[in-house]
Amino acid sequence: MKFIMEGPEAAAKAVATQLIAAVEATKPTIWLVCGGSNIPTEVEVMKQVREAAPDSLGSLLILPMDERYGPPGHADSNYKQLQDAGFNPGKALWMDVLERNLPLPETVDYYGGLVEAAFASAQVVVGLFGLGTDGHTAGVLPGSPAVTEAVTTVVGYDSPPFIRLTLTPGQLVKTTAAFVLAYGETKKEPLERLRANKEDLLQLPSKLLYDIPEASAYNDQLENKNEK
């Protein structure tokens, strides 16, 4: 795993480069997106991909790696916040896992079905991950059912103030290239914990990134250092 001390502009370019290469080669490609502070970078990545390969986006499927359960378009949903930030997928397919307005168990099943079908045909899976101050990534919180009940594709669980939906670690590690964005002083401790990699998954869910073939953590707290 690489720890790269460069800004979000460099991270956006790196992610976009991966996606552009994949779609221009017409490879079935999944882009896993998250919410929170990474939204502006995701908007920029999509802009770069759309401008570089506008007619090649039919092979790109955009899926959330996690979501906050509720009615379609609710203010806290990652999909809605990306939409409000100007995320424009062009000819790519962007899935809203809340679109059917189903009860939680049925939403988990629907989300899981989308993920399983997409991964079955994908040749490239690019993930843009965040890193929480508690060491979580995606919607996989320490000690949560996302860790302890990780035999399924997607899990839904209550973690106030949200009911969270997330791909489980077993599914997330099927990503072929992961880009982690972690900026600000509050991310120094979780970055150090991640680089040390001495805790188990229950305590440090972000360690799942070590099981992804290609993973890079873009940050402003740790000196450049390559990790195996």
Other C-beta atoms lying within 10 Å of the C-beta of residue 127: 27
What is the band of 228 on the pLDDT scale with cuts at 50, 70, 90?
very low
- What's the N-to-C CA distance of the chain in angstroms? 6
Give the least confident one: 56-60, 210-214, 219-223: 219-223
pLDDT at position 149 is: 78
Which single residue is written with the structure tokens 């802009």?
47
Q: Which of 200, 120, 199, 194 is nearest to 153 (CA)?
A: 120
Separation of alpha carbons 150 and 31, rounded Å: 21
pLDDT digits (tens, 9 = 90+) for 62-118: 999 999 999 999 999 999 999 999 999 999 999 999 999 999 999 999 999 999 999
Best CA proximity match to 61, nearest among 138, 120, 17 = 120
DSSP type of residue 140: B
Tell me the pLDDT tens digit for each residue of 121-176.
999 999 999 999 999 999 999 999 999 876 789 999 999 999 999 999 999 999 99
